[in-house]
Structure 1
Amino acid sequence: MRTSSKFAIITTALAGAVASAAVAAPAANARATTSAAWYAYHGLSLSKTLAKSNQLTKQGYRPITVNVSGGQRYAAVWLKGGSPRNWGFLVGMSASGYQKRFDAALKQGGQPVSVSATGPAGSPEFAAVFEKKSGAFLTKSGLTPARFGEINRQQAAKGFALSSVDAYGTPGDIRYVGVWTPNPGGTWYYTYGKTQQQHEKEFYAKKAKGFRPVKVAVAPDGTYSAVWRKDGVKNWAQYVGMSASGFQKRFNDLKAKGLRPVQVNAENGVYAAIWQ
């Protein structure tokens, strides 16, 4: 683990690490795109992610979202400045390694704001972004679909909202990892275990009622989870069912329209993302 004098930059290498858009063949090489205020990448290996995190940190960027998918491939979005909070970026962790880093970050006042996992339930790999801030929160991993739904209902009743979600495991044993934080206000809703067709149907039904997806995740069985919120934001986009090259094309097209990705999620070469 590397740390600075502040809470910032926690990067971890795992020894012996385990291994609606038009769909094209997966891209063989990762691509990154930068602007004056943000930087995003996808399909990077662990070693390249570590190198990139060090480079971006020196340039004044901070991570806002991270995703790890099969084959130990990483995607993330970084912003330049914009927050006085100290932060942590953790990648390449086993379940026990993540718990150890989580405990250490918690002692420093850190809270997870983006958590991702990949691999089977018995030996997952984790990645996370932490920020140093106060306030209540709940985070849990290894959740079966039934347990995930139960915790969502419990937390919603307490005034909390799902603020980070990812699905991992195997097609026959899907698990969820989530973070719940106090609802900042407004109506929100969640869905999970939806096929792409069901998710798209939900998309249009929710959009007609003023909702938009603010989080989206694709599971190893190809189903989708999402957090929907009625927040009045007008300029946004969401695409699912993309290959790496399909995502890159959407990325380029939307960048030209002034939109940047605020969340990128992938599993088994299938990408889902939200722009704003």
Structure 2
Amino acid sequence: MRTTGKIALVASVLAGAAAPMVAAAPAAGARTAPAWVAYHGVSAGQSAARVKRLKAQGYRPITVNVSDGERYAAVWVKDGAATKWGIWQGMSAGAFQKRFDAGVKAGVRPVSVSATGPAGSPVFTAIFEKRSGKFLAKSGLTGPRFAAAGKRAASQGLTLTSIDAYGTAGDVRYVGVWSAGSGDAWSFTYGKTRRQHEAEFYARKDQGYRPVKVAVAPDGTYAAVWRKDGVEDWAHYVDLSASGYQKRFDDLKGKGFRPVQVNAENGRYAAIWE
């Protein structure tokens, strides 16, 4: 398999348009889907401007990523949901903790968290939503601590719903959010090389699982959440350059699906479409 090749393209593949990547109207007979917007590789200032504009237009963010000297990627949908939400970027570890503590008191919790930079001075971005139910969020975790936290969370009926890796190649850290599960069977992996992630993908695909979250670590390894949820139409690509991701995005244009997660680190992208 080529280094920049695809990991998988399952069933019919659907997507949107070029950066800023706004979804086109669905073709006749296509399934109804909310309007959406996605972008990647934008600066902090450009991201802030998009947040202001998209919020005013009635969109809400469903996933966010920060990488490579504070470059941002996100996917937004316009689905009419009455969910109360907020999105913050450029936070230090201390600022993120303060935002988290304030959110918990107000009944608001993180649903998508991303970080970049060394463990001692990371930059965080996060989407918070007002939701009920049990959850767990942790950052600054080494691989073994991340695995231990995941095991404890799973024993409490929680599912890993947000994941990212940051730090340096010699000191990879993880940030995750575990939420009350849907009842679907799931598991997670981390610290997998590209080849190991590929092997994991095919083994799990044969068992009915698919990747629903993916994160690129500073050392080039991958972390992923795998779920058996019966969804048939999806696509997963890894190890793409920014231009390669854009080309893949454009190749999927007009086929109806949108990206549901975009993740990057050190200029390499991974994404999942549905």
1:57-76 equivalences in 2 (<5 Å): 57-76=55-74
* 1: CA distance, partners of 2:123 / 2:132: 27
* 1: CA distance, partners of 2:248 / 2:241: 10
The residue that corresponds to 1:200 in the other structure is: 198
* 2: CA distance, partners of 1:21 / 1:147: 33
* 2: CA distance, partners of 1:269 / 1:199: 18
* 1: CA distance, partners of 2:251 / 2:108: 36
The residue that corresponds to 2:263 in the other structure is: 265
Is 1:160 the counterpart of 2:148? The answer is no
**Cα distance per residue 1:241-270 (max 9 Å; x no partner):** 000011011111223221100000000000
Question: Where does the alignment leave 5 or more consecutive residues of structure 1 unmatched?
Answer: 1-19, 25-29
Alpha-carbon distance, 1:186 to partner: 1.4
What letter corresponds to residue 265 of structure 1 in structure 2? N
Question: Where does the alignment leave 5 or more consecutive residues of structure 2 unmatched?
Answer: 6-17, 26-34
Aligned match for 1:41, one of 39, 42, 46: 39
Note if contact 2:75-2:261 (Cα within 8 Å) is conserved in structure 1. yes
Is 1:240 the counterpart of 2:228? The answer is no
Q: Higher RCO, 1 or 2 (CA under 8 Å, sep at least 6)?
A: 2
1:211-250 equivalences in 2 (<5 Å): 211-250=209-248
The residue that corresponds to 2:272 in the other structure is: 274
* 2: CA distance, partners of 1:67 / 1:60: 21
The residue that corresponds to 1:172 in the other structure is: 170
TM-score normalised by structure 1 residue count: 0.88
The residue that corresponds to 1:251 in the other structure is: 249
**Cα distance per residue 1:25-51 (max 9 Å; x no partner):** xxxxx9311126000000000000000
* 1: CA distance, partners of 2:172 / 2:61: 27
What letter corresponds to residue 203 of structure 1 in structure 2? F
* 2: CA distance, partners of 1:133 / 1:160: 15
Note if contact 1:22-1:246 (Cα within 8 Å) is conserved in structure 2. no
The residue that corresponds to 2:19 in the other structure is: 31
Aligned match for 2:90, one of 89, 92, 95: 92
Note if contact 1:237-1:275 (Cα within 8 Å) is conserved in structure 2. yes
Alpha-carbon distance, 1:183 to partner: 1.3
| SS at 2:82 equivalent | coil
Note if contact 1:92-1:125 (Cα within 8 Å) is conserved in structure 2. yes
**Cα distance per residue 1:100-159 (max 9 Å; x no partner):** 122222222211110000000000000001111111100000000000011111111111
The residue that corresponds to 1:12 in the other structure is: none
What letter corresponds to residue 33 of structure 1 in structure 2? M
* 2: CA distance, partners of 1:98 / 1:208: 39
What letter corresponds to residue 256 of structure 1 in structure 2? G
| SS at 1:252 equivalent | helix
- May I ask how many residue pairs the two structures share in their alignment? 252
What letter corresponds to residue 211 of structure 1 in structure 2? Y
* 2: CA distance, partners of 1:156 / 1:136: 12
TM-score normalised by structure 2 residue count: 0.89
| SS at 1:123 equivalent | coil
Is 1:183 the counterpart of 2:181? The answer is yes
**Cα distance per residue 1:89-108 (max 9 Å; x no partner):** 01111111111122222222
| SS at 1:56 equivalent | helix
Note if contact 1:46-1:92 (Cα within 8 Å) is conserved in structure 2. yes
Is 1:127 the counterpart of 2:115? The answer is no
Alpha-carbon distance, 1:22 to partner: 6.2
Note if contact 1:21-1:246 (Cα within 8 Å) is conserved in structure 2. no
The residue that corresponds to 1:15 in the other structure is: none
Provide the alpha-carbon RMSD of the alignment: 1.5
Note if contact 1:21-1:242 (Cα within 8 Å) is conserved in structure 2. no
Alpha-carbon distance, 1:21 to partner: 7.4
Note if contact 1:21-1:241 (Cα within 8 Å) is conserved in structure 2. no
| SS at 2:253 equivalent | helix
